[in-house]
């Protein structure tokens, strides 16, 4: 038991919620009041989170990627961190609340169910596992952000079509920007998932005697990967665009979530460690 880790575990959802509130308030009020301070808030939240992750790694002698709730906290961090980088690069600051809320959900679930695991299977201390999980996590963060921007695209598309010029119309960036951000996030997600799958296919048969290509998680991930691959290729060659690609991205995200939930909590798989 480390009181600092326990404190940060409880404290983190509150920091994410506070950051969300400031981003949301700014979104509703027109993005002028906390235009810089909200970014500072997000930075401090991410800093707190990274300290928490380092403390956990040091205390339990393994990176926090050995079970689904540890992965959820890393995922919460990855999503907000990816958004932070995206905000810095594009200076589009109005979409924060829609991304940070996803981190809040993952972090709350993690905070509630995470346990202090000191004893983990030797297999979970492998470096290859680290690369496999890390690339998968960045991949999932990419497709999550892609889905969020996709959803925002669909909402704005509908609002403009229906002549509704409310807060969404005022505050969101243009449809073209939302589509581009969704597409680029999906490409990053797809590339990282490809790495995760390649490392997995090389390493898993050696590491797990009961490895099977019929594993539900493997099939689920492969389906998600194929879906994104098709979406990206068709968009790249100009066959599909706009809503069609966006819907593909959102569908891929839903499938990825379902696959994770089913394989971790329901199906018997070598991929379930919890």
Partner 1 sequence: MNLLSLSISHHTAPVELREALHLSNEEIKTFIEGVKGKLFSEGLVISTCNRTEIYGLPANESINHSAIQNFVLTMKPAPAAKSENFNHFLSYDAAKQLFKVITGIDSLLIGDNQIYHQVKDSIHLAEEMKFTGFLTQKLFDAAIRTGKRAISETEISEGAVTVSYAAVQLVEKIFSNLSKKTALVIGAGETAEIAAKHLREKLIGRLAITNRTLEKGQRLAESLQARIIPFENFKSQLHEFDIIISATSSEGLILTKDEIRSAMKKRNFADMVITDIAVPRDIDPKSKEIDYVFYHDIDSLNIIVEQNLAKRRDQIPRVEKIINEELKNFFDWYHSLEVAPTIKSMRDHFENIRLEEFEKNKNKFSIADQEKLEIVTKRIINKILHQPTVELKKLTEGENKHDETAAKVGIIREIFGIDNSKAEKEK
* Site of interaction with partner 1 (CB under 8 A): 30, 32, 156, 160-161, 163, 165, 169, 173-177, 180, 238, 241-243
Residue 35 sits at φ, ψ, to 5 deg, of -60, -35
User: Would you say 121 or 241 has its CB closer to partner 1?
Assistant: 241
User: Would you say 87 or 215 has its CB closer to partner 1?
Assistant: 87
User: Would you say 163 or 210 has its CB closer to partner 1?
Assistant: 163
Contacts for 223 with CB less than 8 Å, ≥ 6 apart: 255, 259
Residues in the chain: 274
User: Would you say 115 or 170 has its CB closer to partner 1?
Assistant: 170
User: Would you say 31 or 130 has its CB closer to partner 1?
Assistant: 31
**Closest approach of Cβ 41 to partner 1, in Å?**
24
**Closest approach of Cβ 166 to partner 1, in Å?**
8
User: Would you say 108 or 177 has its CB closer to partner 1?
Assistant: 177
**Closest approach of Cβ 254 to partner 1, in Å?**
22
**Closest approach of Cβ 169 to partner 1, in Å?**
6
**Closest approach of Cβ 162 to partner 1, in Å?**
9
**Closest approach of Cβ 35 to partner 1, in Å?**
14
């Amino acid at each position: 038991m480390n009181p600092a880790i326990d404190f940060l575990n409880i404290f983190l959802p509150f920091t994410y919620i506070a950051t969300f509130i400031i981003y949301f308030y700014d979104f509703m009020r027109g993005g002028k009041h906390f235009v810089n301070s909200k970014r500072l808030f997000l930075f401090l939240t991410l800093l707190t989170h990274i300290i928490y992750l380092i403390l956990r790694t040091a205390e339990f002698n393994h990176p926090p990627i050995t079970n689904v709730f540890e992965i959820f906290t890393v995922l919460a961090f990855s999503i907000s961190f990816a958004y932070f980088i995206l905000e810095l690069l594009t200076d589009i600051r109005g979409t924060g609340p829609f991304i940070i809320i996803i981190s809040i959900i993952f972090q709350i679930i993690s905070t509630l169910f995470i346990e202090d695991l000191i004893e983990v299977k030797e297999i979970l201390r492998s470096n290859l596992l680290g690369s496999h999980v890390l690339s998968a996590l960045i991949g999932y963060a990419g497709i999550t952000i892609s889905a969020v921007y996709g959803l925002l695209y669909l909402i704005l598309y509908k609002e403009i079509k229906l002549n509704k010029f409310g807060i969404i119309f005022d505050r969101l960036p243009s449809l073209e920007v939302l589509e581009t951000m969704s597409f680029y996030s999906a490409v990053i997600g797809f590339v990282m998932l490809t790495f995760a799958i390649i490392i997995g296919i090389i390493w898993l048969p050696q590491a797990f005697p009961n490895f099977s290509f019929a594993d539900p998680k493997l099939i689920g991930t492969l389906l998600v990967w194929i879906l994104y691959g098709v979406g990206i290729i068709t968009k790249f060659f100009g066959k599909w665009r706009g809503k069609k690609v966006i819907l593909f991205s959102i569908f891929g995200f839903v499938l990825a979530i379902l696959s994770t939930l089913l394989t971790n909590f329901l199906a018997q798989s070598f991929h379930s460690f919890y």
